[in-house]
Amino acid sequence: MTAGRAADAATLPAPLFRPGAHWHLLGICGYAVSGLALLARAEGRRVSGSDQDAYPPTTELLRREGIAVDGRHHPDNLVRHGPVDLLVVGNQVRRGNVEWAAARRAGLPEVSEAAAYLGLTADRRRVVVAGTHGKTTTASLLAHVLDRAGLDPGFRLGATARGFGVAARLGGRDGPFVFEGDEYTTTARDRRAKFLWWDPCVVGLLNLELDHPDVYPDLLHYRRPFARLVRGLPRDGRLVVNRDDPEARALAPAASCPVVTVGLREGDWRLAAEPTVARGLTRLRIRPPAGPDVEARVPLFGAAGATDTLVALAMAQAVGVAPPAAAAAARGYRGLARRLEWIGTARGVAVVDDYAHHPTEVAASLAGLRRRFGPRARLVCVYVPHTFSRTRALLGAYRDAFEEADRLLLGPVETARERHRAGSVSSADVAALVVGPRTAVVADSAEAVRTVVEEAQPGDVVCCASVRGFDGCAERILRALGGAGGDAVAPGHRPSTRPAQPHDQPRGRDQAPARRPVPR
């Protein structure tokens, strides 16, 4: 290995992965990197890290496990906690980072977070759930099913799975390892999609829609890493594909392995009846490729919830769990933090926190809430577009994204990594296009909280949707309404008796402590 250059984990000397080796992680507070830090620590390695954007609760969780966290990037971090054996770089670390540059000058062995996961999961069956929307939910449901079926899986997710209480775990060495397939770049110096590192034997492909326009200028470029992922499957592997999505379906012929299709009405796995909602769960009668119909009950709603469940169960079968056992194991799934997560009710107003940031995702989130709370509920959406490049590239898609809402408050575009693009587009541009709800642009989260509270009526459902939580907007609304936590039941709200419709808009979801799910 050339000193100071990123290496494939497989080419690194084995002692760098042994218990006792000192790993130093750049960008340690990111979900994937912090999860990696905890797994490395659990295996007996010394772990430290730094992050310019260090914040609780991640910092407290890491420090509680004996991991030193520095709140700024500086060359001194490389020696402050003892000699570093391996540098691990998260994809949020930018070129020109002074600590990264110092490590390269010193010739420290270096891998990306994605490559480090490859090293940790050597000799294990790896499965990847990929797609623009729904991969976190599907991957977490799959991990839950495999766990309940006794396979003791490991996983790497982009959110906290409430049933496990963590976003990553190693599981048993003989168990499969489930990856949420991140298509974003590996590092600032390695533009490959992260999921191309993991060499899976099973891939679930949900859907493809242009995203991350800061990396992929058009759908043609966005499609390429997914095609590589499919082509890379071994001949004895499996591809599970959502045939209802034309982009996903079009990639299936590239696989050299058997292909399993899922669909709401057609496919190897499909629905045998219309879904129904009762007691906070969607009841799905499912027809597998062979054998009798099976029934799954999950806290997921609409077409996307059904598709996610079908893909998870089909992938579980590909790993070795029979359909009846997989469907039974799905019971007890508790969902994810910040994916339509009910945080409480006050003054008859239910408050929900959500991660939706793509127009398709927010449309599906609102459709799911409409199904849950029925046609008479007043849906209030506080939404923050994420990044200037995404907002500008997908501007037209916002036109109908909020049609299920009655009231819409738009916060300023989340800058994230794109300060250099400030002014290229604004939330006012989004507001000018929106059709449906009464819409206003708010200057900040304080104005959003104040407006929601002033207008609140019993029976309202307030959904706060953003990547970073808009300064804890959902929790602040609940407190301002007089709620200290969450009621056991959402007063004034009843589940819709209308059956979930398979033809509803597909749903997408891509840091917060785990809380109770939306009471559905």
Same domain for 280 and 405, yes or no, is: no
Instruction: Tokens for 381, please give them.
Output: 């959406």
Expressed as residue numbers, the domain containing 279 is 121-329
Q: Tell whether 363 and 231 lie within a shared domain.
A: no
3-state SS of 345-384 is: EECCEEEEEECCCCHHHHHHHHHHHHHHHCCCCCEEEEEC
| 259-311 pLDDT, tens digit each | 999 999 999 999 999 998 888 789 999 999 999 999 999 988 888 899 999 99
Q: pLDDT tens, 55-79?
A: 667 888 899 899 999 999 999 999 9
Confirm whether 264 is domain-assigned: yes
Residue 52: inside a domain: yes
Alpha-carbon dihedral of residues 135, 137, 142, 144, nearest 10 degrees?
150
What is the full DSSP assignment across 407-444? EEEEPPPB-TT-GGGTTS--HHHHHHH--SSEEEE-SS
Q: How many domains does the chain have?
A: 3
Contact (Cβ atoms closer than 8 angstroms) between residue 114 and residue 6: no
* Residue 261 and residue 131 in one domain: yes
Residues 91 and 20 in one domain: yes
- Cα 109 to chain center, whole Å? 30
490 in any annotated domain: no
Same-domain check for residues 373 and 433: yes
The predicted pLDDT at position 423 comes to 78
pLDDT tens track for 78-120: 999 999 999 999 988 999 999 999 999 999 999 999 999 998 8
pTM: 0.83
Q: Are residues 233 and 170 in the same domain?
A: yes
- If one counts every other C-beta atom within 10 angstroms of the C-beta of residue 250, the result is 13
Domain end call among 52, 85, 117: 117
In whole angstroms, what is the distance from residue 382 CA to residue 411 CA? 7
CB atoms within 10 A of CB 241: 28
CATH number at residue 153: 3.40.1190.10
Q: How many CB atoms lie within 10 A of CB 195?
A: 26
Instruction: Tell me: do 141 and 208 sit in the same domain.
Output: yes
Answer whether residue 484 shows pLDDT above 70. Answer: no
Give the span between the Cα atoms of 192 and 204, in whole angstroms. 19
> Do 59 and 155 belong together in one domain?
no
Q: What confidence category does residue 181 fall into, taking pLDDT thresholds of 50, 70 and 90?
A: very high
Question: Could you tell me if residue 498 is inside a domain?
Answer: no
Is residue 6 pLDDT above 50, yes or no? no
Q: 101 and 45 in one domain?
A: yes
Identify whether 4 is part of a domain.
Answer: no
Rounded CA-CA distance 171/436 in Å is 47
For residues 130 and 186, membership in a common domain is answered with yes
User: Quick one: 110 and 125 in the same domain?
Assistant: no
The mean per-residue pLDDT over the stretch 227-231 comes to: 98
**Domain CATH number, residue 76:** 3.40.50.720
pLDDT band at 490 (very low <50, low <70, confident <90, very high): very low
Residues 85 and 102 in one domain: yes
* Residue pointed to by tokens 């000799």: 123
Q: Is residue 426 very low, low, confident or very high in pLDDT (cuts 50, 70, 90)? A: very high
